[in-house]
Structure 1
Amino acid sequence: MEPSGSTTTVTPPTDNHALSPTGNCFPCELNDKARLRRFLCYGSEGDSYTARDECRPSIEGTGALLAMLQEGRGGEVVEEIRKFVKDGHAAGPHPLLFALALCSQHSELKTRQAAFKALREVCRDPAHLFDFIQYKKELREGMKCGIWGRALRKAVSDWYNEQDAMSLARTVTKCKQRAGWSHQDLLRLSHTKPADDTTALISKYVTKGWKEVQTTYANKENTEEVVKVLAYLEAVETVKHSCDEAEVIHLIEEHRLEMEQLLTEHLKSKQVWRVLLKDMPLGSMMKFLGKMTADNILERGSSDVTEVCDRLRNEAELKKSKVHPFDIFLATENYKMGFSPRCKTTWVPHGTILHALDSAFYGSIKNLEPVGKRFVVAVDISTSLTSVVAGTLVSTPTAVAAIALVISRTEVDTQVLVYSGGAVVPCTFPREMSLYDAVSELIKTPGGGTDCSLPITWATENGKAVDVFIVLTNKPIWACNAVPEETLRQHREKSGTFSKLVMWSLTSIGHTVADREDVGLLNICGFDTAALNIIRNLAQDLI
């Protein structure tokens, strides 16, 4: 962790860096590897990330990736994919899966081999595997040859054979199909030869069905592991045809069955929900708080409410679950609304649950690893801040307060500012400050016109070297009165620091003002958990 006010020593990459007039060597221009990392991180080689954008990648957006493959750097591309998966740097899985599919179909043998070797590591669950196969199919469309060559058949076979028996049984019964593919398709097309008895059992179950399994294994002398898997699959099959609430509950408790393995009819039972709640992952539990309240599963003053609140306040469980503070923040705001716009469900929020969610939000911040950089978080208060964040029902004042609070509590050297109308006002964010108090602190200063360069000018004039500026505005970025790139260059020159700038618009989608050739500039539109992770990547020169 750097001490406050220290000067960062800039170590530029080996290419695409420029010498400034003051002698500082700054890596200002994007090279192919930097563009590749951006694509792997958030699905675009450009400078803009749109929150909650689940568009599937296309070949048109992979210029740098294709250039690196053409230069014989396929192994380097696959290694970057593996790193992003291992370290959790990507905003979502699709860019990684698409890039791996491209590498697996490249003309160079070593690149293809590296891609297939990384398949199990990148495709951690069946949904990823199905998407990977679909991307390969789409990339092959228009070509005479198919995708199921020997290398892919072996890679898919290994994906199934290398898994623990019970994990594989859960996998094939929870996520059966996606993107037009099923486990039955993949096992058949890959000509998978099971590596052991339990994999053979699961393979037969998937391809031939439960009746065939019963016939085959009824009179055999089975190993203990096979008996265990048989019992699990029998429970899954029994629950699919059972209307007996007591039987369903017993099977859930005995075999730890999950929601995906139940029928819709089962989820109309309060008792079924209560037994599911005991082992439900924290993230899923928060997602269904509204439904469980609406259906009187979480009745006011009940032991179920107490159990939910205890889990939300449990720091050990928060750490184990790795739930991000922004996920808890969004869950809190959605629960607080008292209705779901998707399914038209309404409920009266329990105050005790809201207090527990609030506690979970602060507790989860402790689990974030600091990047050890100097941050300025600047909030635009030029308007009344009465709008909502794009794609959500969350108000912009609450969202910017959550952002400022999380960053200031995670990073020791963080200065929070509010700016408008030619004025910049520093804010104090003590560690014990609540989200409600943070909102009050940010909106107490009267507004004026928007000038996004003011926070950078303030830092330069006050001799404060900054590693990352995060300029938050509730206006569309393109509508701002000033573009701050030149102000940022002046700050870099004076401070001797390669400062990064994140222009974060909470209300607009897909607009940009940044210099696309400057590796230190990034635009974010909207709000989600991935946005903060992307900023952390930028701060650490990972994108």
Structure 2
Amino acid sequence: MEPSVSTTVSPASNHTQNSTGGSCYWEISDKTRLCRFLCYGSEGDIYTAREEGRVSLESAGALLSMLQEGRGAEVVEEIKRFSQDGQAVRLGPSFFALALCSQHSDLKTRQAAFKVLKEVCLDPAHLFSFIQIKKELKEGMKCGIWGRALRKAVSDWYNEQDAMSLAAAVTKCKQREGWSHQDLLRLCHAKPANEAIALICKYVTKGWKEVQDSYSDKHNSEEVVKVLSYLEIVEKAKHSCDETEVINLIEEYKLEREQLLTEHLKSKQVWRALFKEMPLQSLLRFLGKLTANKILEPGCSETQAVCDRIQCETALKKAKIHPLSLLLSSENYKRGQGYQGKTKWEPDSSILKAIDYAFYKSFMNVEPMGKRFVVAVDVSTSLSSIVPGSSVSTAVAAAAITMMFVRTELDTHVLAYSEGALVSCSLSADMTLAQVTAELVKLPGGSTDCTLPITWATENEKAVDVFIILTNNPLWAFAASPLEALKNHRQKAGAHSKLVMCGLTSTGHAIADTEDRGLLSICGFDMGALSVIRNLAQDLI
């Protein structure tokens, strides 16, 4: 008997059913293209790792089409969902889409966009990006952007913040994209909602001296006193040339790097004070600099404190550090020099051991998707290349990605294939990264055919939700087209199967010229690629 198949239509796609009830073809709808755009800035089926840059109207055809069809409210809801749920690899496309909606001719679309501004633009940097995009979109239209709706939305953005959070935000991120808080508050004609917000607005627009003159003799509320005290501490640190005083202010009031002067950051003692409370992800990013500046030295108490923080399970869980993020940090630190500038350091063995320990512990932070996976590693080449933009070899990257699925997904089958041969790999959750790497690369090299894993699953009657092919660079001779092999598997297995082709060193390729929503290519690899795979597996893109 054929397995029963659900006919539920995913929110991001349209399924075309075949005669047996299996989903053999997925049409790519405008909604799907919009979701891809919001996820990684392109409506196409290729995600390119570490590719940044401005998005444009040319890359947002589905967004424009949906707006023209009167589906603005639907678009805004998707923008909100992708930006809030951590599904977006890059936030720029969400800001672009929201800016476009905010100046659409349809009143309800504009109102919906401005209503979610604070939920999409969570911090000043986001807000500045949104405003700059609006300016760029309007430049060709020869009209201003500061209408009543935008003035109210920006004013509300400030007024609806917690006063202490806003005070910290305006002192940590003062300007970006050519805009400052002073610019925005002046242009939006803000009317502060309460005295504490009024104090912060005055501080931003008039400066600290004027705030002192205005509030020194007044009977202030408890909240105003708290904000005043905080701003006074920030100002004191900003103008202090006394290293000891700056360190005391950092330690007592949890001041952050962005609130200090460049001159302060030349001090080893200041850095020692900063990294005690520095977010764990930031600390990992600065390990090379801290080692190069002799702040972290072999055997010193600061190095031990850093190792303890990196290995702390509570800290790892709180910061939601991903194992692949730790792998990238480890390999970059091991490299002994930065990618920009002339900074060099001698990697500390105790720090490397701490990151290695944290790598294995951090798999607890990976939320299972509950899907059936086949992860197939193409070993037709030696997998000895380096993933662009990192210090990680393609063999280690493939092993780490494979480990993630083996350790977090109950139904994962791992295959290694080359030269027409395909081997099932016996991997267990307790294997080390080195053991997994050795297991994957033991086959001889040769030409390859990426349809082999799909054919294997079909012939062995194993229903698969997502095939993930990991390879150096996807240049193959196919026995059959990947799409046809995938369609055949869908039909016989009764599964809505998808295929992700990940070329770890590729700079741009597509699996096939197709409108099938279940195929996706990844060029290179970074943390964003994992989000793309997760979104595809969960029918979000």
Deviations 1:178-219 (A, max 9, x none): 111110110000000111111111101111111211221222
Distance of 2:127 and 2:111 partners within structure 1: 17
Match of 2:60 among 54, 59, 62: 62
Residue 158 of structure 2 is matched in structure 1 by 160
Indicate how the Cα distance of structure 1 residues 369 and 229 shifts in structure 2: closer, same or farther if over 3 A, else same: same
Residue 392 of structure 1 is matched in structure 2 by 390
Question: Could you tell me whether the CA contact under 8 Å between 2:45 and 2:519 is conserved in 1?
Answer: yes
For structure 2, which runs of at least 5 residues remain unmatched after alignment? none
Residue 312 of structure 2 is matched in structure 1 by 314
Distance of 1:418 and 1:264 partners within structure 2: 51
Distance of 2:289 and 2:65 partners within structure 1: 49
Residue 3 of structure 1 is matched in structure 2 by none
Question: Could you tell me whether the CA contact under 8 Å between 1:416 and 1:427 is conserved in 2?
Answer: yes
Distance of 2:435 and 2:221 partners within structure 1: 62
Does the residue aligned with 1:334 lie in a helix, a strand or coil?
A: helix
Superposition RMSD on alpha carbons, in Å? 1.5
Residue 237 of structure 1 is matched in structure 2 by 235
Residue 351 of structure 1 is matched in structure 2 by 349
Distance of 2:253 and 2:307 partners within structure 1: 26
- Shift in Å, 1:502: 0.2
Residue 259 of structure 2 is matched in structure 1 by 261
Question: Could you tell me whether the CA contact under 8 Å between 2:511 and 2:519 is conserved in 1?
Answer: no
- Shift in Å, 1:340: 1.2
Distance of 2:48 and 2:4 partners within structure 1: 32
Does the residue aligned with 1:17 lie in a helix, a strand or coil?
A: strand
Name which of structure 1's ranges 103-112 and 360-369 shifts more when overlaid on structure 2.
Answer: 360-369
Deviations 1:455-494 (A, max 9, x none): 111111111111000001101x3x2222412111111111
Distance of 2:66 and 2:339 partners within structure 1: 45
Give the structure-2-normalised TM-score.
0.96
| Structure 1 letter corresponding to 2:9 | P
- Shift in Å, 1:145: 2.1
Distance of 2:508 and 2:51 partners within structure 1: 10
Residue 128 of structure 1 is matched in structure 2 by 126
Does the residue aligned with 2:365 lie in a helix, a strand or coil?
A: coil
- Shift in Å, 1:391: 2.1
Indicate how the Cα distance of structure 1 residues 425 and 8 shifts in structure 2: closer, same or farther if over 3 A, else same: farther
Indicate how the Cα distance of structure 1 residues 516 and 202 shifts in structure 2: closer, same or farther if over 3 A, else same: farther
Matched, 1:119 2:130: no
Residue 8 of structure 2 is matched in structure 1 by 11
| Structure 1 letter corresponding to 2:422 | V
Question: Could you tell me whether the CA contact under 8 Å between 1:450 and 1:480 is conserved in 2?
Answer: yes
- Shift in Å, 1:61: 0.9
Does the residue aligned with 2:422 lie in a helix, a strand or coil?
A: strand
Residue 370 of structure 1 is matched in structure 2 by 368
Deviations 1:273-313 (A, max 9, x none): 11111110000000011111111211211221221111112
Distance of 1:357 and 1:140 partners within structure 2: 47
Residue 281 of structure 1 is matched in structure 2 by 279
- Shift in Å, 1:16: 3.7
Distance of 1:7 and 1:371 partners within structure 2: 21
Deviations 1:154-186 (A, max 9, x none): 110011011111110110011111111110110
Residue 492 of structure 1 is matched in structure 2 by 490
Distance of 1:326 and 1:87 partners within structure 2: 20
Distance of 2:495 and 2:7 partners within structure 1: 7
- Shift in Å, 1:96: 0.7
Residue 169 of structure 1 is matched in structure 2 by 167
Residue 460 of structure 2 is matched in structure 1 by 462
- Shift in Å, 1:372: 0.4
Distance of 1:360 and 1:446 partners within structure 2: 33
Residue 476 of structure 2 is matched in structure 1 by 480
Question: Could you tell me whether the CA contact under 8 Å between 2:23 and 2:494 is conserved in 1?
Answer: no
Residue 449 of structure 2 is matched in structure 1 by 451
Residue 403 of structure 2 is matched in structure 1 by 405
Question: Could you tell me whether the CA contact under 8 Å between 1:515 and 1:521 is conserved in 2?
Answer: no
Question: Could you tell me whether the CA contact under 8 Å between 1:379 and 1:472 is conserved in 2?
Answer: yes
Matched, 1:416 2:414: yes
Distance of 2:198 and 2:74 partners within structure 1: 36
Name which of structure 1's ranges 110-119 and 239-248 shifts more when overlaid on structure 2.
Answer: 239-248
Question: Could you tell me whether the CA contact under 8 Å between 2:500 and 2:522 is conserved in 1?
Answer: yes
Residue 522 of structure 1 is matched in structure 2 by 520
Question: Could you tell me whether the CA contact under 8 Å between 1:418 and 1:427 is conserved in 2?
Answer: yes
Residue 510 of structure 2 is matched in structure 1 by 512
Does the residue aligned with 1:417 lie in a helix, a strand or coil?
A: strand
| Structure 2 letter corresponding to 1:56 | R
Indicate how the Cα distance of structure 1 residues 365 and 233 shifts in structure 2: closer, same or farther if over 3 A, else same: same
Residue 178 of structure 2 is matched in structure 1 by 180
| Structure 2 letter corresponding to 1:12 | V
Distance of 1:178 and 1:211 partners within structure 2: 24
Residue 427 of structure 1 is matched in structure 2 by 425
Distance of 1:10 and 1:373 partners within structure 2: 17
Distance of 2:390 and 2:537 partners within structure 1: 27
Distance of 1:367 and 1:13 partners within structure 2: 27
Deviations 1:428-458 (A, max 9, x none): 2211111111111111221111211111111
Question: Could you tell me whether the CA contact under 8 Å between 2:384 and 2:393 is conserved in 1?
Answer: yes
Distance of 2:372 and 2:400 partners within structure 1: 19
Does the residue aligned with 1:385 lie in a helix, a strand or coil?
A: coil
Percent identity at matched positions? Answer: 65
Does the residue aligned with 1:44 lie in a helix, a strand or coil?
A: coil
Matched, 1:198 2:196: yes
Does the residue aligned with 1:28 lie in a helix, a strand or coil?
A: strand
Indicate how the Cα distance of structure 1 residues 8 and 350 shifts in structure 2: closer, same or farther if over 3 A, else same: farther
- Shift in Å, 1:10: 5.1
Question: Could you tell me whether the CA contact under 8 Å between 1:421 and 1:448 is conserved in 2?
Answer: yes
| Structure 1 letter corresponding to 2:67 | L
Question: Could you tell me whether the CA contact under 8 Å between 2:511 and 2:520 is conserved in 1?
Answer: no
Give the structure-1-normalised TM-score.
0.96
- Shift in Å, 1:7: 7.7
- Shift in Å, 1:21: 4.2
The count of corresponding residues between Structure 1 and Structure 2 is 536
